[in-house]
Amino acid sequence: MKKFWESLNPRERTYLMLMGVFFLFLILFFSGRAFFRYIAEIEERSASAEKDTMRIEQLGREYQVLQAMKTGDSQQLDNMLSSIEQMLKTIGLREKVGTLTPTDTVVQDKYLKREVKVSIRESSANLVLDFIRQIEQSVQTLYKIESFSYRPVLKKPGLYDFTVQISGFQKKQ
């Protein structure tokens, strides 16, 4: 090989080196494209799996709510206010609660629906979102967030006033 290389004139050597660099560039280019295509495919699969997992969790929760409505004994509506207050204390929002108003409604003459409207004043969004996440992910209470609204406090940037409406069902006795 050394003899072959030495037998070439400088112009041919330059062409051979340029061709080698060109082929090396092509190999890197096509392998890089394949690698990035593979990474994009993995990210797409991961996002799809995460979306499917969230949907399965949501369906499981809805199933638990329907089972609780059917049996009527696992909603614990009598303890709903104290349970919500305990969650607010745990997160550190109890002192920022303006009102905690329960309302009972009869649904289809079979179920009792209790809605609790919670007004939270001048709080950061992270604390309230933690409160909502705790309610939505709890399997003991099976309460549901009916509505959620917020508005910024104009004189205090980063703080908001929130209104969260929580509901639960129980079979009428």
Which pLDDT value is given to residue 37? Answer: 95
Specify the pLDDT at position 49. 94
Q: Average pLDDT for residues 148-164, to the nearest whole number?
A: 88
Average pLDDT of the chain? 84
Task: Answer whether residue 74 shows pLDDT above 50.
Answer: no
What are the pLDDT digits (tens) for 110-139? 777 788 899 989 888 888 888 888 888 776
CA angle centred on 110, ends 109 and 111, rounded to 5°: 105
Q: 34-71 pLDDT, tens per residue?
A: 999 999 999 999 999 999 998 998 888 778 767 666 66
> Residue 14: which pLDDT band, with cuts at 50, 70 and 90?
very high
Higher pLDDT, 134 or 19: 19
For the full predicted model, state whether its pTM sits above 0.75.
Answer: no
Is residue 165 scored above 60 in pLDDT? yes
**Amino acid at the residue 3:** K
Pick from 139, 142, 147: which is nearest to 170 by CA?
A: 142
Euclidean distance between the first and the last CA atom of the chain, given in angstroms as a whole number: 96
Q: Which residue has the higher pLDDT, 44 or 141?
A: 44
- Which residue in 153, 63, 77 sits closest to 112, CA to CA? 77
